[in-house]
Amino acid sequence: MAYTTPNVYYAATFDGTYTKLDGVQSVLINRGKSRFQDPTTASRCTVELIPQSTFPSITVGQFIDIRDTNSGASSAYFAGRVTDIQRSYAIPYNSSTGAAPADRVVISITGGTGALAASATTGGNIGLPVDATYYLMTIPMYSSVYAITPQNIGFNYAGAPYPTAIGQNVVAADIQIWQNFNKTLNTVQYSVDDLDLNRTFKQNYISQYVVYAGVYSYPTGQTGKSISFVDDGSTGSTVYKYAQVEYASSIQSAFTQVIVESTLSPIDVNNATPPFVGLNYSTAIATSGQGTSLGTYVLAVNNSTTPTPFVVGTGTALQDSTAALGKLSECPIGTSVTFKFRGTTVSATVCGISASYYPDRANIRLTLSPSLGTPFTLDSTAFGVLNTNRLGYP
C-alpha cells in the first residue's frame, strides 16, 4: 500500500467537531527518551503549515490530533493540546488573493505525558507505602490524566478494584509528580507513553471529573507489540527494512557499576573490576534488598557483551509500511525489538521515537536500549514468574 500523508485535525473542545488543517508541510513527533538511563520526557509534536487565505482560529489549549481519517476510531499518530503557536511572515504576499506562500505557522502540541510533566504537586496525600503500579496509575489522576496498565485497570469509576500488585513497594512523596513518576518507572522497570483516548472523555476516579489526556504504563518489553528490523530480506507485517544504523560504544551506554539511589543509603552494585564506569540510578526502592536486586538487573542489561544498536532509521522511501511505526498503538515506547545486522541478531527495546511526516514521504528514527530478550516465564524466583517478574529482577 502506497504511502499516504496523515491528516491533521483540530477542534475547540476535546469531543467537539474536528476540522482538517490544509497546507500542512510537515508533522514532527518525538516521544520517549534517548538512552536507558535518561528520564522520560514529555511528548511533543510540531505541525508546520502554509497559512491559507482564511486561517482557522486555533488557540493555545485547543485540541489537535493526527490520524488517517477524521474519526476517533482511526489510530492516532499523536493526540494532545496546543501549547504554542508561532507565525512567521515573509515576502511575497498577494493582497488581492491573500496568498502568502512563504509564510509559515508552527503549532506545538503535547500529549498525556506532557500534561503529567506540567504538574508540580499531586494535590492529594499518597504518603503511605503503596505498590509501584498503584502509584503509576493513581498519581496521574491528581493531574487530571487518565492512566491504565496492561491489566486495563484504570481507576475510571468510584469503587474500581485495586490492581494486582506488580513490582516493589514504594513510598510516594506528595511533591514533584514527574520526577517521582520517573523514579517509580526505574524501580519497576516500566515504560510510559501517551494514550489515545479516541476523542472520548474518561472519568477521573480521584476527582470525579472527566479528563482528556491519558498515559499507558507497562513493563518494558511487554507492550503487547514486537517488531523486527532486518537486513536479510525477511518479510512480515511487523518486519521492517532499515536504511540507517548507529552503534554507540561509550561511557554513555555501557556501565560496570550501578549506584542505586533512593531515600535509603546508596547501594553499590559493580562487576568488581576497577576502574568503574558508573551509573547513578534514581529509584523509589523501599529496602536495600530491592536495591541490590534492581542494581544487579540494570548492570546485567547495560553490560551486555553483544552490542545493541543505539539508533535505527527507516522510512517510506525504503518501505511504505514504516509510516505506521509512528502511531501510538503500533510502536509504544518500550516495545521489544529483534534486530538483525550482518548475521547477528540482538534484542532491544524502543527508548524513543522521532517520526517526520511530509507530503511525499515519512522518516522514522528509533532510539534503542539493551535488552536481555523476552522475559522468562518460568515458575522460578531466580529466572522469572509469569506476570510477576522478569529475568534477573524479582
pLDDT for residue 287: 78
Output the nine-digit C-alpha cell for 285.
526502592
Does the 226-246+308-370 domain belong in CATH 2.40.30? Answer: yes
Average pLDDT over residues 79-96: 86
pLDDT for residue 78: 96
The arrangement of strands across the sheet holding 278-282 comes to: 267-270, 257-261, 278-282
Per-residue pLDDT band at 243 (split at 50, 70, 90): very high
pLDDT for residue 323: 94
Q: Are 64 and 8 in contact (CB under 8 A)?
A: yes
* pLDDT greater at residue 390 or residue 322: 322
- The answer, yes or no, to whether the previous bond of 92 is cis (omega within 30 of 0) is yes
Domain ranges of the chain: 7-110, 129-219, 226-246+308-370, 257-301
Rounded to whole angstroms, the Cα distance separating 371 from 127 reads 33
Per-residue pLDDT band at 167 (split at 50, 70, 90): very low
For the ranges 37-51, 235-249, 259-273, 367-381, the lowest mean pLDDT is seen at 367-381
pLDDT for residue 166: 43
pLDDT for residue 377: 41
Average pLDDT over residues 353-357: 96
Look at residue 114 and tell me whether its pLDDT is greater than 70: yes
Mean pLDDT of the chain: 81
Per-residue pLDDT band at 330 (split at 50, 70, 90): very high
Average pLDDT over residues 301-312: 81
For the ranges 67-76, 191-200, 291-300, the lowest mean pLDDT is seen at 291-300
Per-residue pLDDT band at 160 (split at 50, 70, 90): very low
- Return the residue matching grid coordinates 516493589: 168
CA distances from 109 to 80, 198, 217, 284, 374 (A): 6, 16, 21, 31, 34
HEC letters along the chain: CCCCCCEEEEECCCCCCCEECCCEEEEEEEEECCCCCCCCEEEEEEEEECCCCCCCCCCCCCEEEEECCCCCCCCEEEEEEEEEEEEECCCCCECCCCECCCCEEEEEEECHHHHHHCCCECCCCCCCEEEHHHHHHHHHHHHCCEEECCCCCCCCCCCCCCCCCCCCEEECCCECHHHHHHHHHHHHCEEEEECCCCCCCEECCCCCCEECCEEEEEECCCCCCEEEEECCCCCCCCEEECCEEECCCCCCCCCCEEEEECCCCCEEEECCCCCCCEEEEECCCCCHHHHHHHHHHHHHHCCCCCCCCCEEEEECCCCHHHHHHHCCCCCCCCCEEEEEECCEEEEEEEEEEEEEECCCCEEEEEEEEECCCCCCCCCECCCECCCCCECCEC
pLDDT for residue 328: 94
Rounded to whole angstroms, the Cα distance separating 323 from 361 reads 8
Q: Are 67 and 77 in contact (CB under 8 A)?
A: yes
Look at residue 292 and tell me whether its pLDDT is greater than 80: yes
Contacts of 222 (CB under 8 A, 6+ apart): 150, 334, 336, 375
- Return the residue matching grid coordinates 546485567: 300
CA end-to-end distance (rounded Å), the chain: 44
Look at residue 96 and tell me whether its pLDDT is greater than 80: no
- What pTM did the predictor assign? 0.86
pLDDT for residue 382: 38
At 168-188, the pLDDT tens digits run: 455 444 557 788 888 888 888
* pLDDT greater at residue 211 or residue 129: 211
CA distances from 352 to 19, 85, 161, 368, 378 (A): 30, 25, 32, 7, 30
pLDDT for residue 130: 57
Per-residue pLDDT band at 1 (split at 50, 70, 90): low
At 16-27, the pLDDT tens digits run: 999 999 889 999
pLDDT for residue 360: 93
pLDDT for residue 128: 44
Rounded to whole angstroms, the Cα distance separating 228 from 215 reads 25
Q: Are 391 and 371 in contact (CB under 8 A)?
A: no
Per-residue pLDDT band at 37 (split at 50, 70, 90): confident
Give bridge partners of residue 352 from the DSSP assignment.
32, 367
pLDDT for residue 207: 56
* pLDDT greater at residue 387 or residue 63: 63
* Neighbour-count burial of 258, counting CB atoms closer than 10 A to its CB (0-12 exposed, 13-18 middle, 19+ buried): buried
